[in-house]
Structure 1
C-alpha cells in the first residue's frame, strides 16, 4: 500500500484519511466474498448506517446477502419502513435451535432490497433477511439448549447450535448466488450477536469518538480473543471453532467540530489514538496490521438522516437535492461527497 515512514500509528491513519478526503484514495482491491458481522457492544455508534450503506457499496461489485439479527430491528425499519415482514430471521432460527416442534425450516426468507429501496437497483444485487423483536427472547432459548448439550458433552449439538445462523445464511446465499454476507448485530453479545460472530469470517467494528465507545472496543476485543471468556469457551465446547478476525474499525462521528477540512478535531484525534492503542494490543485478532484496518468517517448529519429516513444510500444522494424528513425540508450539502469517499474507502479495504 504505502511505504512511507510514520512517526506514529495516529499519523499514518490521519494521513490516509486526508488522502481519502482530498484525492478519493482507496485500495487497489475489490470486495472479497466473505461474511462480515457489523458489531460493537454499544448502541448509537453507527452499526445500522454502516450496514445499510456498506451493503449498497459492496453490491455494486458482487451480490450481497444482508441480515438483521438485532431485536431492535433498526435496519429492517430503514429498509422496509412500516411494511411488516412475512418471514424473519427469527422464524428461520427457531426450528433450528428449538427443534421441529416449532415448525419446518423457513424458506424464501430473503427479498431484493430494491423492492423497497429503488436506489439498490442495478449493481450485482442485494438481498435482505428482516429482523424481529422476538429476538429479545432468543438468548434464553439458545443458552438453555446449549447448556443441555454441554451437560451431555455433545460437541456436535453444541456446534450445530452455534452454527445455526451460519448455516441459514450460507444456504440462503447459495440459493441466491450471493458472494458476500453482511450481518447487522445488536449492542449485546448474547443471542443473535453471538451467533453472528460464529457465522462471520470477520468483524467490522464501528467505534464512535467518545469514552464509552472506545471502552466497548476494548471489551469486545478481549471477549473475542481471551480464551477464558465466554465466546472462546463455547467455541472450544463446539469442537474448536475459529473466532472471526477484525477486518475494519470504523471511527464514526469524527470531525464534527473540526475547523480544518480532512482533519478530525482534537477530541476525535484523542479517541482515535486510544482506539489505535487498544487495537495494537490485540493485533493478532486483525486481518492485517491494525493501522490498515482503521477508517475515519465524519458525522453524517443531514445526509445520514436523509439516508435512513428515505432508504437512500449516501452514495446515491445528490448534492443540492432536497428531502422532507419528519416534516422538515433538508438539503444534501457538499459534505455528502466526503462521506461518499469514506464509504468507498471502507469498501476497498474489505
Structure 2
C-alpha cells in the first residue's frame, strides 16, 4: 500500500498527464483560504483560485485581509467606494457605524479584464480598517455573553455568513471564496463561521507546518477559542478542510518536479499532521485533499506584477518587471494543471 506521501505525489503526477480531466462540480458552497501565518502565497493562491472557480461557476470573491493584497491584484489600483468593512461594521456593531451600501460588490470582469470569458462573478474589496475590527467585534461578543444572550452571539458570529448569503442570492452566485488575514481574529474568525470548508495553504518550511497543526487543532479542539465561541452561540457546524495546498514546492532545489528531498520531507510532515485530524476531511484519506503547487518563478512574478492569473499567461511572451525582461516558459502549462487539480478536489 502506498504511503500518504507517495499517494500525494502520485495524484500530482496523474493530474499532469495528458489524459487527466478536471470536473466542474463543487463539493461546498462557501470557502475561505486561511492559515495562521503570512508570507506563504495565500493571496497569490486566492487570486488564481478566484480565476479558476469563475471559469465554471458564478463566484463571489471577498478580500477579508486588511493588507488588501487580493484587492490590489484584482482591482489594480482602482479605488472602490465600498468594501467589506462598509457592510460588516453596521451589521456587527450597529447603525452608529454607518448604513450598509445597497451595492457592495463589483463585477469581476469589469475591474479586471483578465477575468473575461468566465461565469458572471463578483468581488467585494478589502478594507485596511479591518486591522482595528477585532477589538470592536469581541467587545460586542463579550457584552452578549454577559447578557446571557445566545441569539446575539450567534447573530454576530454569523453576520458575515448572512452578508455572503444575501449577496450570493442577489447576484446568483453558487460559490464564494474568502481570502483571510494570517491572524485568527476579527474577520478571519467570522470567515471560519461563514465557511463550509477551509483551504489551507502550507509553504514548505517549518513555521508553515507548525501553523498547519495549529489551524487544525483550533478547528478540532473543543477548548479552542473557535469552538468555545461556537458553544456560546448554541453550537455551529465546524467547516471541513477542503484542501491542503503545499505552496512554493521546489524552491529549495534546482531539480525538476516536486520530488526533491526537502519538499518530500515537508509534504510528508504535513500529511502526518493531517492524518491526526482525519475527521476534519470528507475524504477517507487526507492525502486526497492535498494539492501541490510549484514555486512559480518568473511566471509568478509576471502574474503578480501584471495582475494576470497564471492560466491567462501565454508561453513565450515577454514582460519587463522591475527593469528585468522575463519570459513565460513552458512551466506555465504545469502551473495551470496544478491549479486545475486544486480546483477539481474542491
More displaced 10-residue stretch of structure 1: 103-112 or 272-281: 103-112
**C-alpha distance in 1 between matches for 2:58 and 2:100:** 24
Match of 2:44 in 1: 49
Match of 1:296 in 2: 292
Q: Alignment RMSD, CA only?
A: 1.4
Match of 2:316 in 1: 320
On the 8 A contact 2:28/2:197 being kept in 1, the answer is no
Deviations 1:268-318 (A, max 9, x none): 100000000000000001121211100011001111111122121111100
TM-score by length of 1: 0.95
**C-alpha distance in 2 between matches for 1:81 and 1:275:** 34
Question: Is 2:180 the partner of 1:190?
Answer: no
Match of 2:124 in 1: 129
On the 8 A contact 2:24/2:56 being kept in 1, the answer is no
**C-alpha distance in 1 between matches for 2:195 and 2:309:** 24
Question: Is 2:50 the partner of 1:58?
Answer: no
Deviations 1:43-84 (A, max 9, x none): 111111111111111111110000000010100111112222
Deviations 1:10-34 (A, max 9, x none): 1111111112234363554533451
Match of 2:137 in 1: 142
On the 8 A contact 1:251/1:295 being kept in 2, the answer is yes
On the 8 A contact 1:31/1:61 being kept in 2, the answer is no
More displaced 10-residue stretch of structure 1: 21-30 or 103-112: 21-30
On the 8 A contact 2:59/2:173 being kept in 1, the answer is yes
- What is the 5 A alignment of 1:201-280? 201-258=196-253, 260-280=255-275
TM-score by length of 2: 0.96
Match of 2:33 in 1: 38
Match of 1:283 in 2: 278
Structure 2 counterpart of 1:104, from 96, 99, 103 = 99
In structure 2, the gaps of 5 or more residues are: none
**C-alpha distance in 2 between matches for 1:194 and 1:121:** 32
Residues 237 and 133 of structure 1, relative CA distance in 2, 3 Å threshold: same
State the Cα distance separating 1:247 from its structure 2 match: 0.3
More displaced 10-residue stretch of structure 1: 24-33 or 133-142: 24-33
State the Cα distance separating 1:328 from its structure 2 match: 2.7
**C-alpha distance in 1 between matches for 2:274 and 2:178:** 22
Question: Is 2:108 the partner of 1:113?
Answer: yes
**C-alpha distance in 1 between matches for 2:194 and 2:304:** 26
Match of 2:339 in 1: 343
- What is the 5 A alignment of 1:162-173? 162-173=157-168
